């Protein structure tokens, strides 16, 4: 009689009640997902009792790892007082004050429930403020799950068009043509063609949205020349310049924007600012944020939300951000730099054509001898190396390492030399294992 493991039984149950067997496609693996039993710090134990070092950090959101005692204590104390109210809370004010002091480009902030919501409402505020309808985003950039910002998130050679003038491609069938017409696509880090596209649409553009280090494209920071040129163009043409820092905020104390000479008009946040609980936020210039103020003369956009500024998320998030001070940021980034160096050494020893991109406490592996320059080069690279990448991810999971399926690795403040040494050793073995499959 065959004896099934608990994860196998769970997956059979899941397939009967959840489309595909999960609520998030990211967790799906063959032959079945890993099912967590509990986690603490950098370690996660599944329902079968197997332990992993978690370098996914729930797609970058757990800057202090799992179940940090100070965050758990703060959240628990708040939950005893109530989990949601139809009135305001003191922590909302305190957290807003903290974030405005931390991010120079913020005069005001609004708290929401997810990174998707943050980008969605940031976009709508830009439209309300400018009175214009079109937005610009980079080909292949991920900004959440909202039909407008999903446009050209994952185009392919059959539909993406001329590289110099990328098509606006729906992410799912049935997206209205009006949505596609309202989103203009630019090639990431391609200054000449980006400026030409901006000029062609200058009378209709509400905002340009940039992820300053897009993980779905190549996880290379946008060049200063690129960012400065777009910013200067927006100053001349009445268009807002928006940063999506839902992921990249972890890279530096004030996010990736502190690496540039400019300040974005609006910035979306999420993930680490919730301390492990659902959250989103966006903030920016006072005059722009006034479109949300119902007692202001410029009020144009009523924005609410049943769980926006949820006190549990805010208490946990504020605790997490205070713990992630400048010293913590510097120490974590130094540890990540060390891990990158060790992994580069493993690449040399294994003699495999693999490269690393990223900044701060996050990096991504590419199965090519150099980092792809744009979405299209990355697309072909992933397509050509599909079998090697799958075998690589399967190998490290089997040997107790969790990463994001895109080969992104997120470090957290509970990690030490021990964890990154194990990572480097495991990756060295994985590189050797998949070397015959790399094209």
Which tens digit of pLDDT belongs to each residue from 16-38? 999 999 999 889 888 999 999 99
Bridge partners, residue 246, by sequence: none
- pLDDT for 28 equals 87
Q: For strands 266-270 and 280-284, give the pairing.
A: antiparallel
pTM for the model stands at 0.96
What pLDDT score was predicted for residue 233? 98
Output DSSP code: residue 134: E
Q: d(Cα 426, Cα 330) in Å, to the nearest integer?
A: 26
Rg (CA), the chain: 22
- The set of residues, in sequence order, having a beta carbon less than 8 Å from that of 427 and lying 6+ positions away, is 343, 346, 396, 401
Give residue for tokens 């940039």. 210
Helix (H) or strand (E) holding 116: helix 115-130
**How many whole angstroms separate alpha carbon 146 and alpha carbon 150?**
6
Rounded to whole angstroms, the Cα distance separating 328 from 307 reads 30
- Listing DSSP states for 402-421 in one string gives E--TTSEEE--TT--HHHHH
Residue 3 has pLDDT above 80, yes or no: no
Mean pLDDT across 394-414 = 97
Mean pLDDT of 48-65: 97
For the chain, the structural domain boundaries read: 34-63+325-437, 69-323
Distance CA 315, CA 281 (A): 14
Q: Closest Cα partner for 153 from 164, 163, 166, 162?
A: 166
Helix/strand/coil for 36: strand
Average pLDDT over residues 305-326: 97
Please write the tens of the pLDDT for every residue from 189-242: 999 999 999 999 999 999 999 999 999 999 999 999 999 999 999 999 999 999
Place of tokens 């009640």: 17
> Whole-number mean pLDDT of the chain?
97
Instruction: Write the pLDDT tens digit of every residue in 111-122.
Output: 999 999 999 999
Whether the CB-CB separation of 147 and 174 falls below 8 Å is answered with no
Residues paired with 401 in a beta bridge: 53
Q: How far apart (Å, rounded) are the C-alpha atoms in residues 261 and 228? A: 7
First to last CA, the chain: 42
Q: Do domains 34-63+325-437 and 69-323 have the same CATH topology?
A: no
Has domain 69-323 been given CATH number 3.40.50.740?
no
Q: Are 188 and 155 in contact (CB under 8 A)?
A: no
Alpha helices, H only, 182-244? 191-200, 224-237
How long, in residues, is the chain?
A: 439
Token digits of residue 171:
């992410």
H helices of 286-373, in order, are 286-289, 311-323, 326-350
d(CA 141, CA 208) in angstroms, rounded, equals: 12
Pairing of strands 43-46, 240-244: unpaired
Looking at the structure, give the CATH architecture of the domain made up of residues 34-63+325-437: Alpha-Beta Complex (3.90)
What's the rounded Cα separation, in Å, for the pair 253 and 360? 10
Distance CA 412, CA 332 (A): 7
The pLDDT-based confidence of 142 (bands split at 50, 70, 90) is very high
| Positive or negative: CA dihedral 172, 175, 179, 184 | positive
CB 268 within 8 A of CB 246: yes
Distance CA 403, CA 42 (A): 12
- The CA distance from 350 to 391, in Å, is 16
Q: Is the pLDDT of residue 1 over 60?
A: no
Mean pLDDT for the stretch of residues 60-72: 98
């Amino acid at each position: 009689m065959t004896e099934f493991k608990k994860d196998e039984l769970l997956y059979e149950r899941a397939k009967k009640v959840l489309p595909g067997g999960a609520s998030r496609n990211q967790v799906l693996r063959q032959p079945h997902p890993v099912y967590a039993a509990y986690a603490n710090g950098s370690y996660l134990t599944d329902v079968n009792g197997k332990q992993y070092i978690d370098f996914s950090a729930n797609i970058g959101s757990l800057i202090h790892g799992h179940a940090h005692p100070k965050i758990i204590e703060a959240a628990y104390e708040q939950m005893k007082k109530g989990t949601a109210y139809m009135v305001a809370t003191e922590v909302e004010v305190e957290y807003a004050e903290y974030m405005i002091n931390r991010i120079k480009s913020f005069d005001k902030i609004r708290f929401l429930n997810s990174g998707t919501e943050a980008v969605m409402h940031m976009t709508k505020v830009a439209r309300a403020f400018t009175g214009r309808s079109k937005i610009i985003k980079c080909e292949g950039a991920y900004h959440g799950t909202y039909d407008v910002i999903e446009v050209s998130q994952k185009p392919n050679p059959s539909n993406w068009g001329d590289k110099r003038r990328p098509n606006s491609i729906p992410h799912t069938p049935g997206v209205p043509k009006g949505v596609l017409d309202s989103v203009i696509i630019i090639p990431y880090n391609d200054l000449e063609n980006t400026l030409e596209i901006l000029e062609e649409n200058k009378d209709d553009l509400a905002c340009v949205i940039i992820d300053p280090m897009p993980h779905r494209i190549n996880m290379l920071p946008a060049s200063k020349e690129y960012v400065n040129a777009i910013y200067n163009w927006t100053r001349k043409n009445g268009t807002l310049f928006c940063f999506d820092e839902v992921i990249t905020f972890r890279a530096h104390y004030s996010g990736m924007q502190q690496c540039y000479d400019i300040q974005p008009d609006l910035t979306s946040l999420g993930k680490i600012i919730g301390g492990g609980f659902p959250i989103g936020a966006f903030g920016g210039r006072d005059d722009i944020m006034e479109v949300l103020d119902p007692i202001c003369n410029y009020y144009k956009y009523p924005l609410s939300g049943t769980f926006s500024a949820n006190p549990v998320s805010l208490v946990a998030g504020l605790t997490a951000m205070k713990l992630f001070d400048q010293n913590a940021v510097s120490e974590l980034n130094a540890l990540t730099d060390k891990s990158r160096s060790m992994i580069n050494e493993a690449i040399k020893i294994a003699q495999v054509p693999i490269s690393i991109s990223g900044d701060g406490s996050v990096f991504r592996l590419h199965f090519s001898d150099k980092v792809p320059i744009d979405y299209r080069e990355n697309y072909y690279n992933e397509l050509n190396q599909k079998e090697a990448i799958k075998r690589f991810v399967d190998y490290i999971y089997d040997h107790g390492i969790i990463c994001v399926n895109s080969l992104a690795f997120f470090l957290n403040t509970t990690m030490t030399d021990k964890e990154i040494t194990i990572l480097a050793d495991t990756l060295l073995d994985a590189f050797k294992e998949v070397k015959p499959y790399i094209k």
